Structure 1
């Protein structure tokens, strides 16, 4: 009798362990939908990555649930490094079991992680990764930003319209964003009748640009296009002006960061960039109008400046949530199909649908200039 009683106790213990160890944990997971946030919080792109994360966090605050469940953000730091990107991406899909991923700031790390998301069939929504290679051949990678060929064309057109016929390009070796955008600017600028008189390249973490800039000065360039990281931008600007070079300095979206102005100081005055969003854009959506007021309060008050990449991070979250809602599921294949079929989902920077590559169908860019120590809106450019 004692043996039977002992056996019964042991059996109940095993069943209890199964329910607690498996069923209990599973029950908690069923109440939460995990979305991975794959961004650089450290390294040379840490500043931009942190801004993007701010937009994602705010979107999560505005829209905290989907399918009747709480959305939990799982934030990982890819450290602005391609090798670390693979580690961070693997953690999200294998350990955290996220339903989808948002990120990353930086095309290089996005490309590096692409196959990991693809093989796991976890949809990824890039926010500001603009290099065409991010989504090429990857049916599980999408993005909310415009692409570098478009951005290069916008900036080349702006340079020509301002009367500049000779351009110098400065790009960062091994940086997919920098080299890609530099080449797209070169192609567009020459097609519009301009001439590339010099193309200089530098290594990551380089701080002395005087050799390159001496060649720029000798070339007679009227405009300098330097799509580099935040870490190098302020130094390039400052050293350009220190050599007495008066050429117009221009760059792409990565330069929209106050850290650049902090480093360059007065030398930053007149720098022109292309970017994704500005609160003064008269073509803004209704979602954008709500976002501006709410996000400023979230950041600390009405005088706060809204980084364009934060608006893209917000949009990436909104789009993913809509896809999960339309799919009625957290299954990766179902979410991917919902993204492919998506039409008319309104975000801050536009109304979303995606082409055959997973790229947002966009035809608009914002031009800003550094004036009085701030990035200020110049114009909204629409390219058909």
Structure 2
């Protein structure tokens, strides 16, 4: 338990991906935290301080290293983050064990909370919460769109082994099969790979009408650029998710005509309060 004395500030910390290819997600998260603290004001007569933002590096190693620093600070009561589910799987156990609260605005891996029946996921720890959706919903939405709107009956999926990408690819594949479709391939690339031809050739062997690859940059760039060069994928429909829904990826010429799944962020006229 943390005691906040008279005149002392409540200490919370931001733990988000503020460098690298996923900074487009983490930096707005951190800015939003600071805006919210300034807008909300005092709590019980105490100011709230965020301190220096910490970087989760969008990785398990980054999440663990940052969490070790955070739990060593006995004045901190809670953490807002991480940006990436992979970082959360390593940070959450440490933060939970320290009796602290962790709230993420963008983690979506089902393993961090529960399945739709309420069964706890393998990476759930007490004190962990999120305001983002569960990817079981996003995977189903992507699969239903592919089946019902695009009219495809066969699909393949590629992930990179990260809890977010693998969880979303699995949710898509399960929902696609449940809807009557056939998954012709389910495979992975390694983070850092640039030659995607071998894995794309493997995928092409199943002749999928659609390829779902809910991964990040730069691997997503290489997949969409190299897929048209692989025999059997020239006319395959490409679909990704919110991990690639950013201006840098959309600037890649081959991304034109793709489909993406992700949250609806049209907040309407009351967007300031909605966010």
Q: Same-fold call, TM > 0.5?
A: yes
Listed one character per residue, the Cα deviations across residues 280-299 of structure 1 (whole Å, up to 9, x for unaligned) are xxxx477xx242xxxxxxxx
Residue 139 of structure 1 deviates from its aligned partner by: 2.1
| C-alpha separation in 1, matches of 2:182 and 2:27 | 37
| C-alpha separation in 1, matches of 2:59 and 2:206 | 34
- Higher radius of gyration, 1 or 2: 1
| C-alpha separation in 1, matches of 2:240 and 2:183 | 15
For 1:128, the equivalent position in structure 2 comes to 106
Query: Residues 82 and 109 of structure 1 are in contact (CA less than 8 Å); yes or no, is this contact kept in structure 2?
Result: yes
Residue 163 of structure 1 deviates from its aligned partner by: 0.3
Determine if the alignment matches structure 1 residue 259 to structure 2 residue 259.
Answer: no
Query: Residues 234 and 261 of structure 1 are in contact (CA less than 8 Å); yes or no, is this contact kept in structure 2?
Result: no
Q: Which structure 1 segments of 5+ residues have no match? A: 1-25, 292-345, 349-384
Q: Which moved more, 1:45-54 or 1:226-235?
A: 45-54
Listed one character per residue, the Cα deviations across residues 120-160 of structure 1 (whole Å, up to 9, x for unaligned) are 11111111111122234422000001111111111000000
For 1:153, the equivalent position in structure 2 comes to 140
SS at match of 2:152: coil
Determine if the alignment matches structure 1 residue 99 to structure 2 residue 77.
Answer: yes
Listed one character per residue, the Cα deviations across residues 273-331 of structure 1 (whole Å, up to 9, x for unaligned) are 2222322xxxx477xx242xxxxxxxxxxxxxxxxxxxxxxxxxxxxxxxxxxxxxxxx
For 1:196, which of 183, 190, 202 is the aligned residue?
183
What are the within-5 Å matches in structure 2 for residues 1-384 of structure 1?
30-74=7-51, 75-95=53-73, 97-135=75-113, 136=120, 137-161=124-148, 162-173=150-161, 175-243=162-230, 245-262=234-251, 264-265=252-253, 267-279=254-266, 284=267, 289-291=270-272, 347-348=274-275
| C-alpha separation in 2, matches of 1:217 and 1:235 | 16
Listed one character per residue, the Cα deviations across residues 255-281 of structure 1 (whole Å, up to 9, x for unaligned) are 22112123x22x1112222222322xx
Q: 1:93 to 1:222 in 2, by over 3 A?
A: same
| C-alpha separation in 2, matches of 1:85 and 1:246 | 39
| C-alpha separation in 2, matches of 1:68 and 1:230 | 44
| C-alpha separation in 1, matches of 2:208 and 2:28 | 33
SS at match of 1:169: strand
| C-alpha separation in 2, matches of 1:219 and 1:180 | 22
| C-alpha separation in 1, matches of 2:74 and 2:227 | 46
Query: Residues 63 and 82 of structure 2 are in contact (CA less than 8 Å); yes or no, is this contact kept in structure 1?
Result: no
| C-alpha separation in 2, matches of 1:270 and 1:53 | 32
Q: Which runs of 4+ in 1 moved over 6 A?
A: none
Residue 171 of structure 1 deviates from its aligned partner by: 0.9
Query: Residues 56 and 83 of structure 2 are in contact (CA less than 8 Å); yes or no, is this contact kept in structure 1?
Result: no
Q: Which structure 2 segments of 5+ residues have no match? A: 114-119
| Higher relative contact order, chain-length normalized (CA < 8 Å, sep 6+) | 1
Task: Give the total of aligned pairs.
Answer: 259
| C-alpha separation in 2, matches of 1:196 and 1:182 | 11
Residue 58 of structure 1 deviates from its aligned partner by: 2.9
Residue 110 of structure 1 deviates from its aligned partner by: 0.4
For 2:116, the equivalent position in structure 1 comes to none
Residue 96 of structure 1 deviates from its aligned partner by: 6.2
Q: 1:125 to 1:219 in 2, by over 3 A?
A: same
